[in-house]
Structure 1
């Protein structure tokens, strides 16, 4: 039988290692901020991270960001506004972002859902919550900072904050340059732009402040002709005349939502505006114009050029 090991024979480095091994469980938590509660919180947060391996994306800009981050391999579904890039259209469609079908979402067995703010309806969200499917909402504001925050929020949810930081820096540099070029135009030369959402029933539905249309008009160096109210509202004939739009801006549409230039400018009140006199109308892809995603810098440049022609002060 071996004699007990003589502690006195331990070399100094062995003794130090033994003391550290015994004391670490007590010393480490005390050395960390918040002690053991900090450790428990960190572990709990790690355990609560949702599984994003089978992801449904709701909102065109959210889907664009996921592709721009190179994380599209997680996607198993998207909403009907997610039309860019073209590869996204090959994914199962779970419906319009504000009219999601719970059956359509649950049917593709997602591990998580990421959606832009305003997605719904509430009844569908309640069903998804009961189904225990993690649902992450990404805040939406229609300005430069809102785009960058959206990119970072998506990156954080997917667990790739470093990728998101790189993308945000690239988008920021491009967008700042585009906006700076547009801002060179003197205030006195800026045109008034009327964004028309729809003309159903002969009523002109226009955009006010706090809207994607209002935001992109401002970034592009123009004036929102109906910036005296918030949201989207139907205009009276008097309000259209008072708005004095130099240019009408609309989404490119087809089918029953489409209207020809002739029919549009035949509207009794709109026919009295400078826009009608000059037949000044711009139509753009809805997602590209109003998405407020990674491509917004190109939207600013295209819209500015469409409104004014090439800006002589723009950087080459």
Structure 2
């Protein structure tokens, strides 16, 4: 159990870092080229947890020689050499495993490191990050094209697409949508929450909920007044595990929630960070599980 808690805390910390990074898509999108295929993918590095999940889901994990520190699922991926955090890559660390190609999730960097890798003539394919069901399917197709296995990618995308369609159909049937406040952190009782154009916003919508914060993009600290106006019905957080977790007493004891619906219901949902926010092959299941947590048996029909 201690090992699970440590992994949960690590995953949540990594996703917190991802969320708070301000340069998101600019590092790799500016470097993206026409290349969409890695001719020799026999020694592949996967940068981005969702891409690593896709490689495993395609049954192509034998190609992997390393991964980044956000690639914690499936558990076998953790046995691969770790070349570092996707937004703080070291060219030396990446090149030390002698890769024949690199899969990069959009937002990887820094730009200087990618420039060095480009000069070292290591083929790189940048896969776009979009926090929608279609974005997941596009990732699968992008990985399939990069590895030259489009047929396998088409089959996986069809299966995942059917699951996503079922999740979206269930979400569309929800009549009274709950307002969800995703809290990234509560340092010093200051609440940092998710706005639009985030993984949290995307999974809330897929689950049939409404993001209680729609006045900004990304993650920001909220004033007590803003929380009052948001009027959340449910608090959603990453499951940090062990000593990393903020207790319900700390959350609902915060005066910012006084007078809001969630202060009365004390409805708190915690989910594994990679599962909830990864936007990989498990996203439909994560959306379903979140929907059940929000609406109970009604989400099953």
TM superposition score normalised by structure 1? 0.81
Aligned to 2:293: 306
Counting only pairs closer than 5 Å after superposition, residues 167-182 of structure 1 correspond to structure 2 as: 167-182=156-171
Which residue in 2 is equivalent to 1:115?
A: 104
Residue 155 of structure 1 aligns to a residue whose secondary structure is helix
Shift of 1:50: 3.2
State the SS of the aligned residue for 2:255.
Answer: coil
1:126 corresponds to 2:115: yes
RMSD over aligned Cα atoms = 1.8
Which residue is 2:194 aligned to? 207
What is aligned with 2:282? Answer: 295
How much does 1:258 deviate? 2.9
Tell me, yes or no, if structure 1 residue 103 matches structure 2 residue 92.
yes
In structure 1, the residue matched to 2:51 is 62
Whether 1:219 and 2:206 are equivalent positions in the alignment is: yes
Q: Describe the shift of the 1:125–1:180 C-alpha distance in structure 2 as closer, same or farther (beyond 3 A).
A: same
Deviations 1:86-120 (A, max 9, x none): 11111111112112222221111111110110011
Report the equivalent of 2:253.
266
Cα distance between partner residues in 2 of 1:239 and 1:293: 32
Gaps of 5+ in 2: 1-33
User: Is the 2:44–2:99 contact (alpha carbons within 8 Å) kept by the matching residues of 1?
Assistant: yes
Q: Per-residue CA shift, 1:38-67, capped at 9, x if unaligned?
A: xxxxxxx99x85321101101111001001
Residues 257-314 of structure 1: per-residue CA shift (max 9 Å, x gap):
53111112222202442213211111100111111111111111100010111116x3
Corresponding residue of 1:279: 266
**Alignment TM-score, normalising by the size of structure 2:** 0.84
Bigger relative contact order (CA 8 A; separation at least 6): 2
How far the C-alpha of 1:256 sits from its partner, in A, is: 7.0
For residues 141 and 192 of structure 1, the distance between their equivalents in structure 2, rounded to whole angstroms, comes to 22
1:164 aligns with 2:153: yes
User: Secondary structure at the residue paired with 2:214?
Assistant: coil
- Could you say which residue in structure 2 is the equivalent of 1:146? 135
Report which of the two structures shows the higher radius of gyration computed on alpha carbons: 1
* Aligned mates of 2:207, 2:164 — CA distance in 1: 11
Q: Following the alignment from structure 1 to structure 2, what is the Cα–Cα distance between the partners of residues 254 and 130?
A: 41
Q: How many residues align?
A: 267
1:230 aligns with 2:209: no
